[in-house]
Amino acid sequence: MQTLVRYSTIYIPTKKLHPRQATAFKETAKRLANAYLNKPSEQAILDFLLLPRILGIGLQQGNLNQKLRNYPHILPAPPEQANQARPEPKELNSSLRAIELLEQGFLGRASQALVDQAPLAELTPELKAQLCQKHPIGPKDPFQIRARPHAGQPIKIDAIRTAIRTTSKEKAPGLSGWTRSLLDIAIADETDGSTRTGVLAMIRHIAEGIRLATAKGSHLLTASRLIALEKDDGGIRPIAIGDMIYRIAMKAVIATLFRPEMLLPNQLGVSSPGGVEPAIFALQSVIMSDSTEFDTITSADESNAFNNRDRTTIATAVLNHAPTLLQASAWALNHPALLVLSDGTALASAQGVRQGDPLASLLYSLSQRPTIEALQRKLPNSRIFAYLDDLYVLGSRKDPEIKPVLLETFTEYNLELNIRKTKEHRIEDLRTTGLPVLGSFIGPRAARKTFLEKKIDKYNSILLTLRTLPKQHALLLLKGSINHLLRHLLRQLDPRGLTELWQQADAATIAALGHIASRRLQPINIEHTALIGIPARQGGLGLILHAKVAKQLYTAARDANTTTTQFILRGKTTPTTLLLDEPAHPAETAQSVLKSFYIEQLKSLDLISELEPPTPCSPTPRLPRDSETGS
């Protein structure tokens, strides 16, 4: 472990490797993987984990091929401090930082540099004290349960390939330095028949060992880099950036063993269709209807939710509701895991789950299930649902007061209810004031307009920042990320009365394109706006024009989430009265809405007769997740 930490500061280059360098790296990775498969051991795992750092040393000092050929028999000494990992360039402004990241191929991180939604907290003695407080000491051997249920199906090589393919290339590396790009190089020549040798086979062997709790080197694989993100309320959110090899292996384990029935239907956030949308539509149905079934909405906040969960409680919940995952969970959580700060300070993760770990959301939700069930028993006429640690209670007059029941139940399950952040609202008041919820807003037209105006103001300021970037950089950011900043609101925010604001957002997008396309200081006037919305393969830019699809996307999202929304509200699935005046079209999906939009743009240019109608998929926003921001 000391060796892994000591080498973890060596700079890993982000530029594309020369073909000869890539070949040497790939051959070394395969040799080390086969050595592990021939004799699985902690040392063999450490040798493989350190390979990116050896690559970094070779690129810095020269003679790379020789160093790779001699490794692991000869372990190069780490460079002096002056040559080690570069710190984050705090002195760079957001535009220069975005340019640097974009030229490294990190589109999402470049966009994040402009948006700056959750900046990294500066490492100070005060921050270290806060991080220590957020990682309490836990019980010894919390997963020492006598029962050893069946561990489910074996992990297949296809599950490893899928886990790699669905991992972002912008995921920040853990202590070892393995990234998705380096992993792609390492498995480049491994065909579908490569099941017994090579890197894929090694990762599958590790994943299978995790499933059975027999994998070597758990302390090496579960060690993480620890960063802290600043929160809007002045607090911090600790994020553990785990090792890429561990993340891939654990993702494959979860994909193989997870079943939806492990969680309640009103527990959202873990492989649940629609993400936050069922919760938003359920709350909207209650707030904006004339129903008197519920009279209050309470949002419960748990202090330090992920890190405070008792691991004994987690173990019991896994045994009761997800027994096939018990051994994998025990392998990952029965012993403390090392958390390493940027200055080398080490903390221990001995309680709860590590935010950023592939297991975190699932294990947290499993441990939350008994609490939700207990609350529902005590409040039989109310409805309880949760999106991960965001728990909501639709309170009924027939039940006791909500807050005392929450406090009592949280105490019974050794949880700490944050009274200051736990809010109770009268639904009658919310129909006038509105409610910000899960990144969206529910309420009357005036309140929704105020909410969207602030979002569009932020969008406009980011578009103005693009003018400080080289034109090609600005266009890449606009198409790949910035244009998607408001995309979720098209699906979640009631569009009635907001058309003018969405048109303002589109006008700002068109103006930004005018500056990018102009060769002079003055922007050009883009008359054929249809070209903006046509897919790139049809000669357009593939950007979204919000005003043209807001109503249709919202309706499609609401209809797609009807089943889950009805379970939240009724405990069963029954038809509900829709909030928009027009009849619903249940068969219409977001994909079909966008397809219709693209065809309409083609028709406006008289191209529909010349071109086959496109069948687009909804573009995926490239903003990074919390765990991707720590490089």
DSSP secondary structure letters along 519-537: SSSSPPP---THHHHS-GG
Question: Considering the domain 276-302+367-438, what is its CATH architecture?
Answer: 2-Layer Sandwich (3.30)
Percent of the chain with pLDDT over 70: 89
Percent of the chain with pLDDT over 90: 67
Cα 12 to Cα 478: distance, rounded to the nearest angstrom? 28
- Alpha helices (runs of H) in 137-190, residue ranges in sequence order: 157-165, 180-186
Structure tokens at 339: 């958390």
Q: Which pLDDT band, with edges at 50, 70 and 90, does 585 fall under?
A: very low
* 523-to-517, 520, 531 alpha-carbon distances in Å: 7, 7, 17
Considering 220-234, 371-385, 521-535, the range whose residues carry the highest mean pLDDT is 371-385
Considering 34-38, 232-236, 603-607, 619-623, the range whose residues carry the highest mean pLDDT is 34-38
pLDDT at 525: 65
Interval 42-75: pLDDT, tens? 999 999 999 999 999 999 999 999 999 999 999 9
Would you list the domain boundaries of the chain?
1-77+118-257+311-348, 276-302+367-438, 444-608
For the cut 90, the answer to whether the pLDDT of residue 366 exceeds it is yes
Q: Which pLDDT band, with edges at 50, 70 and 90, does 620 fall under?
A: very low
Amino acid at 171: K
For 490, residues 6+ apart whose C-beta sits below 8 A from its C-beta are: 544, 546, 549, 550, 553, 554
Q: What is the DSSP letter of 170?
A: T
Cα 288 to Cα 501: distance, rounded to the nearest angstrom? 21
For the cut 60, the answer to whether the pLDDT of residue 456 exceeds it is yes
Interval 486-499: pLDDT, tens? 999 999 999 999 99
For the cut 90, the answer to whether the pLDDT of residue 506 exceeds it is yes
Cα 623 to Cα 628: distance, rounded to the nearest angstrom? 9
For 301, residues 6+ apart whose C-beta sits below 8 A from its C-beta are: 417, 418, 421, 422
Interval 372-424: pLDDT, tens? 999 999 999 999 999 999 999 999 999 999 999 999 999 999 999 999 999 99
For the cut 90, the answer to whether the pLDDT of residue 617 exceeds it is no
Cα 560 to Cα 200: distance, rounded to the nearest angstrom? 37
At residue 58, the 3 state secondary structure works out as helix
For the cut 80, the answer to whether the pLDDT of residue 622 exceeds it is no
User: Between residues 124 and 535, which one has the greater pLDDT?
Assistant: 124
User: Between residues 529 and 292, which one has the greater pLDDT?
Assistant: 292
* 592-to-98, 547, 578, 580, 612 alpha-carbon distances in Å: 34, 17, 20, 19, 15
Q: Which pLDDT band, with edges at 50, 70 and 90, does 104 fall under?
A: confident
Q: Which pLDDT band, with edges at 50, 70 and 90, does 89 fall under?
A: very low
For the cut 90, the answer to whether the pLDDT of residue 158 exceeds it is yes
For the cut 50, the answer to whether the pLDDT of residue 623 exceeds it is no
Nearest to 298 by CA among 365, 375, 384: 384
pTM of the model: 0.88
Arithmetic mean of pLDDT over the chain: 87
